[in-house]
Structure 1
Amino acid sequence: MRNHFKIIIFAAIWLALFCELIFDAELKQSLHTYLELHPVMAPILLILLQLTFTIFVLPCSTLTILAGILWGVKLGIIYSTLATLMSSSLTFFLGRYSFLNTKIINSYSSHQWGAKINQLLSRFNLWASALAHVNPLFPGSSLGYIFGTTNISYGAFILGAAIGTMPLQLMMVLIGDLSIKAFLNTAKIQSLAIIALLVAILGIYLIILPKILKKKTVKNDDNSLSS
């Protein structure tokens, strides 16, 4: 019951931030004014925000939308990917080398997330990180903590994180970029229509993908048992 309550709270916060970034014209103006005044500090702040969100296991996808709003698709995906990989690296090394290692092992040894990560590692080895990151049901911000306690190499983990998070990052950056174009009244109707389409695709992605991965896992289980 407590976990369900946390999920509802996180979802409500995420939805509020999402709507604020997409529809608040005054906020967009303030963000771009800050970007013009501080072109170097702005991407540094984005990375620091994502590091903070990740440490406290908060959803970071709204920051990807922010990257699209501020820098468009090309620079936005670069800064967003850089922030994601730095955050994943931080939690991975905290999980592997800090005082949190024992605490995480104790917390997740009997937890469903820990069990699923171990199953992925035993079946897919180097691709386990990519599959975990592409699955929206996994708590993405905390994956580095959990993978840090396993025997996966840092290289395999961070490559998987880059591959697995890319589809969702591309969608979020594109939504951010289109929202600022709609705000600037350049192809407003088209931009809003594409945003609605991307949100629909995102919803399908979040609903359908876990089912596909679950069927794939069950199929692998059946094959391993039959062999």
Structure 2
Amino acid sequence: MQSPVNASGKRPARRSYDARRRRQLAAESLHSVRTHARELFLTQGFGATTIAQIARAAGVSAESVYKNFGSKAGLVRAIYEESLLGAGGPPAEQRSDLAQKTESDPVRLMERFGRFTTEISPIGAPVYLLIRDAAASGDASMAALLRDVDEARYRRMLHNARQLVGRGLLRPGLTEAEAADVMFTSTAAELYETLVIKREWSAERYGTFIARTLAANLL
């Protein structure tokens, strides 16, 4: 069927389907689900929070939550992975890789690692602790997620250690496995829990401590 001719004798251009706008709205909806889910999980706990509650808070159907995240554990995984991006701008992992490639002073590099920790830990550590506690309560899906999260974090620390070894920035005799263990321990959510949540350190003080700990043990 042809478009009608307007008064000027020309057919008006068809309105193209705005796929980009649709994708944007879908992304905003998923972000709303993650945001409300995070608030409910951290306030009520994993077991007490239902998909139906999350869906109501986000203004979507429970079916759409299941369709996009699969399960409560899948939703927690998405929230945790989002936290690793950092507070905005390029993902923190990309900025960390860039710092490792461009920073020539190893002490300043450790300070940048500390700043990344300051940025990410307040976002990611509470979600990790949620996963840990749900796993400890006997939830099999969260126990599996905990293993996945720990393995992924260790692989990331090993990647960082290999970068440092490759550039000759580590103390002589220190292996990449030893360096990875130091970094894995220093970025553990349990350390954040002890110093920031329990001892009420500021995030900035905590990040400085991490930078100095890394420098003392790696350089």
TM-score range, shorter chain: under 0.3
More helix by share: 1
Question: TM-score, normalized by length of structure 2?
Answer: 0.28
Question: TM-score, normalized by length of structure 1?
Answer: 0.27
Work out which of the two has the higher radius of gyration on C-alpha atoms and give 1 or 2: 2
Higher relative contact order at CA 8 Å, sep ≥6: structure 1 or structure 2? 1
